[in-house]
Amino acid sequence: MNRQFFSYAMIGILNTGIHWTIFLLLMTVSASQSLANLAGYIASASFSFFANARWTFKSDATTPRYLGFMVFMGALSWAFGKGADLINLYPLMTLIGFSALSLVLGFLFSRFCIFRSAA
């Protein structure tokens, strides 16, 4: 499990760069944090899903797995951004908070739900 988490975290660094770039670009055009966070997450999570399926979990990246991962984590992304909008959280704090939360919950959800047969 430690090797898997390390691999997941390394892919997560690239994933985070994609997410943050899209989030910040959308924030510059006055998008809401919930929309910016969701859009950044969709792009970065797609990369993350396929990379982790191949290198972290050595498993097939099937459509049902992809949809399950995207729906669960997308809902988490949107909810986190919506909460940030409601409390007027500074956008950088939204990025940092969601990045930390998605690292832990994303790994656990992937390992024990999405790729459980490959773990």
CB atoms within 10 A of CB 3: 8
| Tens-place pLDDT, residues 53-83 | 999 999 999 999 999 999 998 888 889 988 9
If pLDDT is split at 50, 70 and 90, which confidence band does 118 have? low
Domain count, the chain: 1
Query: What residue numbers bound the domain in which 64 lies?
Result: 2-114
> Residue 14: what pLDDT?
95
d(CA 57, CA 60): 9
What's the whole-model pTM score?
0.81
In a domain, 16, yes or no: yes
d(CA 97, CA 59): 29
What are the residue ranges of helices labelled H in the chain? 2-28, 33-51, 63-86, 91-109
Residue 7 has pLDDT above 70, yes or no: yes
In a domain, 119, yes or no: no
If pLDDT is split at 50, 70 and 90, which confidence band does 1 have? low
> Residue 99: what pLDDT?
86
d(CA 98, CA 2): 22
